[in-house]
Amino acid sequence: MNEAPADSVGVAVIGYAFMGKAHSNAWRNVGAFHPGVPTVRQEVLVGRDPAQVAEAASRYGWSRAATDWRSVIEDDSVDIVDICVPGHLHCEIAIAALAAGKHVLVEKPLANSISEAEAMVAAAAQAATRGVLAMVGFNYRRVPALAMARDLIAGGRLGTVRQVRVSYLQDWLVDDSAPMTWRMRKDAAGSGALGDLGSHAVDQVRYLLGADIATASGLLETFVGERVGDGGPEAVTVDDAAWATLWTTTGTVASIEVSRMATGQKNALTIEVYGSLGALRFSLESLNELHVCLDGSAGFTRVLATEAHHPYVESWWPPGHVLGWDSTFTNQAADFLAAIAVGTEPSPSFADGLAVQRVLAAIEDSAARSGATVSLEEPS
């Protein structure tokens, strides 16, 4: 067995379900597609159930499994702690890991509340003075077509961006008899579709436009108020769907719609950007394509974002050989490793995560006030 290089980094992933699997796949493959980044050692996968986490660790390529995250962050073989657990656990684990000198990656949304997110930003800022870095995982920033869209917008190809539409629709809760999960409990998830899907939507508005959100108005709806859990019927304490209108600091108006009860929609993130000189359209269900209307064109042209000069693509396949959803997590891991190697702040930062959290809180505040427009400078 070959020994790991001296500059290799040991990774621990906390959580082994959906996101834990996606992140494990990324850490396992990042070196194969991004050979310039530090070599990864898959040290430990952490979960509550000893048998299940051990089985997952073996399947996903981890050296070992553990059930106590506190012992893992004190482990000298671990350099990066990757947090893929429910939102109510993010703050405690991230702050403890940063204090222990571990670089930290946290799945979105950053936290369940502004106060938790602020505490995490403060911990990250303090850790940065010791060369310890932190990043929040908005993986859709690593879709080549969306990175290409951002470049076109930043380069002025769309002119003045006037309006943006983002919808993120799923249907996994459309059946009234679907069982209760942690994602439907406010104390664990913070919010429902708003935090789960809306955080991606808000981040894309900020990322694509390079602008902050100034004001927001919103509406939340819970269509099924009770679901059956292990102990019987239980109240659903989060939203099933959310709508919002956002105004950016640069004057762009953005409309957002997210739902986990949109019949027939599986993972439908769609983005439209309209400017004075051009427009863009994107669908996650065709994630290698960007539809562009530029240079006075009378309609949209389909661009296949698989050329070597497109963002991220050089590390992957020949032109026309499409990338998948899982590739975004591999690109994300590579970006984090590259930042660690040179000691630069990774993006999106915890501060970006806090900015998204403030928008989500403003939408909740607006919904509680019958859709009133809320300034993000106002306390929620």
Which of 279, 341, 337, 296 minimizes the C-alpha distance to 105? 337
For residue range 274-301, what is the model confidence (pLDDT) as tens digits?
Answer: 999 999 999 999 999 999 999 988 899 9
Contacts of 364 (CB under 8 A, 6+ apart): 191, 194, 218, 220, 380
pLDDT at 7: 76
Provide the 10 A C-beta neighbour count for residue 186.
16
How big is the CA angle at 266 (ends 264 and 272), to the nearest 5 degrees? 95
**How far, CA to CA in Å, does 192 sit from each of 47, 203, 263, 354, 362?**
23, 17, 17, 18, 15
**Do strands 301-304 and 268-275 pair parallel, antiparallel, or not at all (unpaired)?**
unpaired
pLDDT above 60 for 3: no
Domain with CATH 3.40.50.720 in the chain: 9-139
pLDDT at 5: 60
Q: CATH classification of 9-139 is 3.40.50.2300, yes or no?
A: no
pLDDT at 377: 73
Contact 258, 238 (CB under 8 A): no
For residue range 23-47, what is the model confidence (pLDDT) as tens digits?
Answer: 999 999 999 999 999 999 999 999 9
For residue range 55-108, what is the model confidence (pLDDT) as tens digits?
Answer: 999 999 999 999 999 999 999 999 999 999 999 999 999 999 999 999 999 999
**How far, CA to CA in Å, does 88 sit from each of 172, 211, 255, 264, 269?**
22, 28, 28, 30, 25
Q: How far apart are CA 270 and CA 13, in angstroms?
A: 30
The two three-digit tokens of residue 186, written as one number:
């406010």
pLDDT above 50 for 328: yes
pLDDT above 50 for 380: no
pLDDT at 379: 43
For residue range 196-219, what is the model confidence (pLDDT) as tens digits?
Answer: 999 999 999 999 999 999 999 999
pLDDT at 239: 97
Domain with CATH 3.30.360.10 in the chain: 142-374
**Is 177 strand, coil or helix?**
coil
Query: Computed from CA positions of residues 318, 319, 322, 328, in that sequence, does the dihedral angle turn out positive or negative?
Result: positive
Contact 303, 289 (CB under 8 A): yes
Amino acid at 371: G
Q: Mean pLDDT across the stretch 229-249?
A: 96
Length of the chain: 380
Which of 194, 66, 129, 292 minimizes the C-alpha distance to 57? 66
Q: How far apart are CA 207 and CA 352, in angstroms?
A: 9
Q: CATH classification of 142-374 is 1.20.1050.10, yes or no?
A: no
Q: How far apart are CA 161 and CA 226, in angstroms?
A: 42
For residue range 128-176, what is the model confidence (pLDDT) as tens digits?
Answer: 999 999 999 999 999 999 999 999 999 999 999 999 999 999 999 999 9
Average pLDDT in the chain = 96
Helix (H) or strand (E) holding 257: strand 253-259
2: confidence class by pLDDT, cuts 50, 70, 90: very low
DSSP state of 323: -
pLDDT at 1: 38
Q: How far apart are CA 203 and CA 352, in angstroms?
A: 8
Can you give the pTM of this predicted structure?
0.96
